[in-house]
Structure 1
Amino acid sequence: MKKFLLNFSALWIALFFCVPSMAQNSYVISDGSVFENKTFYPKFSWDTTPMYYMFGDPKRVLLPDEVEHIVKRTDFICIEKSHGEGELGAAELGTKHEVEAFKKIKPEIKVLFYFNSAYAWPFTSYSKGFLKKNIDQHPELKKFLIIDSETKELAKRRNTYFFDVLNPDFRVWWVNTVVKGVEFSGADGAFIDQMHGFSWLRADKSLDVQKAMGEMMAALKVKLGPDKIVLGNNAQTKAARFVFPSIDANMFEHYGNTLLSKEKLLQDWDDMLRISKAGKMSIFRIGVEYDTAVSENPTYYKGKTRNERFAELSKEKLQYYHACYLIGAQPYSYFQYGWGWQLSHGSLMDYPEFQKSLGAPKGAYTRISDEGWEFTREFEHASVWVNTEMEEAKISWHEN
């Protein structure tokens, strides 16, 4: 009887990790707790690698075959900040166009509207007043911008100005603007980029900046309503701790090769667990433009064939970065892969590995030794091994 009970317990644990729980749309987190899906979240499945797409083309909207390509591979996307501006005149029109195109094919797909909380990008009709040639004609907007303490001029980077989150009038305008963009476009929520508030420009007020950003994001979540998604970029950091309670999803952007170090990846996996336990989604975004191969050979960026070089690099590095995602993946953790944010930077690539049968994880990852950097994890249809010190990996796909 004792042997029978032990075998029965082992069988139950295996079933618990391999399939959704009896509750509808519930999935097991790697520590054995249960992730309860919110009704407004996108569809999630372990059948294949869960993918998130984020892209834009500043000149035009998507062609029908491009919509078909993307919609077959994901249930969760964001339309980037300048998409369709050249063809339609404003980015919110580009988002609206794509929301309609995607939902015509797949009504349940979740599409997000992009807006930045630090850079005053002038791509929407709501923000064209922030163009350098327009700003002096819009004093009501100019007061929302940071003044450089040294030059006493508007702080900027490549003629893009910086929002001043410490201005309460700006926070009201910003929340209303994001909500307007979401409602006009028919989007399912918003991706909020750059939530640092340029705190380093006002080091003596850094904590005030962080709190103000948290207040603004909380106001956004309330005004959008309970059924809209708020996805924050790099909101897992200590500096964004006041923002974290108001987001539904977090992106690990990995915007530099230092963020792909073995230590940082280990921290990411811990954060993915923490985020999942909080009932929030994760986007594990890898851009191979920050791979060490590129930093050691900057010619990747040069010339008209740069996309061809990056496409080949993305294929070469796919198994490693895919494995890095799978080691830490939790329920409602999505993978994003490419080499930038434009449509031509990977969103139209075909990576057959992402279509292979994956199946649910059978438990948490295993670290081979406490001091080493080798990790393994088992999925229903795949075995994953990765060495983050040597940047090597192997995904063994099991025959069904």
Structure 2
Amino acid sequence: MKIDFQAKLKLTLACVTIVCGTNSSAQERDHYPKFSWDKVPVAFHFGESGALLTAEEAKFVATRSNFVCLEKGHGSKQFKHTEDAIEQEARQLKKLNPEMKVIFYWNTFLDYPMFRAHDDYQKHPEWWLKKTDGELDLKQGRFKRYDLSNKQVRKWWVDVAHKAVVQGSCDGVFMDAFPQVVASANKRLWGSDKYQAIQQGLVDIVEETREKLGDDQLIVYNGVRSTPPRKIGNDFMKQTDAVMIEHFGHFRSDSKECILADMEAIIKAGKAGKIVVVKAWPGFSWLDKDAMKKPLEEKRKLAAKNITFPLAAFLVAAQEHAYFIYSWGYVMDMGCLEWYPEFDQKLGPPLADAVKSGWEFKREFKHASVWVDLEKKQARIDWK
């Protein structure tokens, strides 16, 4: 059946209204990062493969946001294990900014060797996910996957999260790789019965994480996908606090239909009082070999030139507790600490609902007028 996207657009904006000012349906949550419309709400998500952040870098992060996820491999040249590096970094950042919420990256499906927990996983071959032919299911031929249908695997995983968050200095856990778990192509690898068991295991590990961490710690998961055929909605909204939309306007999610779907997800989750982390891209990523050959200064200029469209699309949909991330990767030299003039402009709360005309959107903020055309990939932000 052919989908009438214009009709869908009209229905979406009729049914999902962007509320003027504060989102009246969102309940204040003490464990959320403190939110403000004063400027573009920015979050950070990165790993520094060398040592911990320098004093200058830590001050930069702590004074520009109060919401950061520290990635796998952070501080790997200074610390043997990611768990120790994230713990020390969390202490450093929270000392500089007591309101900082630091999120512990802990992949829900892939066994990364930089974690101390990897050593325990290595001791349990019965936990390693296998294909129907009995061979290990490896990503890129080297990373084992967790058999989430195994209750002992889930208990081990949740215990690691508990140690980092409840016993440690982090404020929540980043549960990565949900789209990889639910991909329908896995049925051919695991068989239908195993596939269904692992889908149930994914549901179970989210619920078990919530029970172990309690209601006053953050659970962030990745996430929503609008990319065909792996289109995934916000299926864990009830059990989690936050969702990441990682491929906003990039990685085959750059069609007007995909961007609209992601904007709908931002609105829906925001109106439910949830945190939404939008990872936007400057038109290239670390996977683009030609772009990566360019000097850093050239990449910076290109990112600065291309920021208007993804930022405008974000602002049109953003609700309270929505955060913007903009870089071309997840390690420090991929633009993770780059800063743009738009982030220093006064924004203020939204003054009215978004107004649509075809694929065009307009939205007024106290200190900015935002216009975006999803079809032509054009946008304008007029700062008042």
Structure-2-length-normalised TM-score: 0.86
Closer, same or farther: CA 158–352 of 1 in aligned 2, 3 Å: farther
Match of 2:79 among 88, 92, 101: 88
Given candidates 232, 248, 255, the residue that maps to 2:221 is 232
Unpaired runs of at least 5, structure 2:
1-18
Asked which structure has the greater RCO (Cα within 8 Å, sep 6+), the reply is 2
In the alignment, is the contact (CA less than 8 A) between 1:92 and 1:184 conserved in 2?
no
Please report how far the alpha carbon of residue 158 of structure 1 lies from its aligned counterpart in structure 2 after TM superposition.
Answer: 4.3
1:144 positional shift: 1.5
CA distance in 2, matches of 1:17, 1:315: 29
Question: Could you tell me which of 140, 150, 155 is aligned with 2:138?
Answer: 155
> Does 2:59 correspond to 1:59?
no
Is 1:253 paired with 2:246? yes
Find out whether 1:68 has 2:51 as its counterpart.
no
**What is the Cα-based RMSD across aligned positions, in Å?**
2.3
Maintained 8 Å contact 2:128/2:136: no
Spell out, residue by residue over 1:240-291, the C-alpha distance to the aligned partner (whole angstroms, 9 max, x if none): 6653321100000007432122111111121112112222110111123647
Q: Aligned pair 1:101/2:104, yes or no? A: no
Query: Does the aligned pair in 2 maintain the 1:211–1:242 contact within 8 Å?
Result: no
1:17-166 aligned at under 5 Å gives the runs 17-18=20-21, 27-28=22-23, 33-128=24-119, 135=122, 138=123, 140=124, 142-150=125-133, 152-166=135-149
1: CA distance, partners of 2:172 / 2:352: 32
Stretch deviating more after TM superposition (142-151 or 333-342): 142-151
Whole-angstrom CA distance in 2 between matches of 1:317 and 1:88: 36
Q: Which residue of 2 aligns with 1:349?
A: 338
Shift of 1:34: 3.1
Q: Shift of residue 348 of structure 1?
A: 2.0
Quick one: structure 1 residues 143 and 156, their matched pair in 2 at CA, closer, same or farther if it must change by over 3 Å? Answer: farther
* Structure 2 counterpart of 1:330, from 319, 331, 354: 319
- Measured at CA, do residues 214 and 287 of structure 1 come closer, stay the same or move farther in structure 2, by a change above 3 Å? same
Contact 1:79 1:113 in 2 (8 A): yes
Q: In 2, distance between residues paired with 1:258 and 1:193? A: 19
Amino acid at match of 2:128: L
Letter in 1 for 2:139: K
Q: Is the 8 A contact 2:90 2:102 kept in 1?
A: yes
Question: Which digits, 9 at most, give the CA deviation of each residue in 1:160-216, with x for residues without a partner?
Answer: 111111112211111112212224541001111102426532352444332220111
**Change over 3 Å in CA distance of 1:153–1:126 after alignment to 2:** closer
Find the counterpart in structure 1 of residue 163 from structure 2: 180
The residue aligned with 2:5 is none
How far residue 308 of structure 1 moved from its aligned partner, in angstroms, is 3.5
TM-score, structure 1 as length reference: 0.83
Distance 1:323 1:229 in 2: 27
Whole-angstrom CA distance in 2 between matches of 1:393 and 1:163: 42
**Range 72-81 or range 260-269, more displaced:** 260-269
Q: In structure 2, what is the equivalent of residue 314 of structure 1?
A: 303
Match for 2:40: what amino acid? T
What is the rounded CA distance, in whole Å, between the counterparts of 2:61 and 2:75 in structure 1? 17
| d(CA) in 2 for partners of 1:152, 1:158 | 11
Assess if the C-alpha contact under 8 Å between 2:328 and 2:336 holds in 1: no
Number of residue equivalences:
355
SS of the aligned residue for 1:254 comes to: strand
Whole-Å separation in 2 of the counterparts to 1:274 and 1:236? 14
Q: Report the Cα distance in structure 2 between the residues aligned to 1:272 and 1:240, rounded to whole angstroms.
A: 11
Tell me if structure 2 keeps the 8 A contact 1:358–1:382: yes
- Letter matched to residue 359 of structure 2: W
Q: Distance in 2 between matches of 1:93 and 1:383?
A: 44
Paired with 2:378 and 2:222, the residues of 1 have a C-alpha distance of: 27
Instruction: Write 1 or 2 for the structure with the bigger share of helix.
Output: 1
Question: What is the aligned counterpart of 2:186 among 189, 198, 201?
Answer: 201
Of the two, which has the highest radius of gyration? 1
**2:222–2:245 contact (8 Å) kept in structure 1:** yes
Q: 1:103 to 1:153 in 2, by over 3 A?
A: closer
**Percent identity between the two aligned chains:** 29
Which whole-Å CA distance do the structure 2 matches of 1:156 and 1:223 have between them? 29
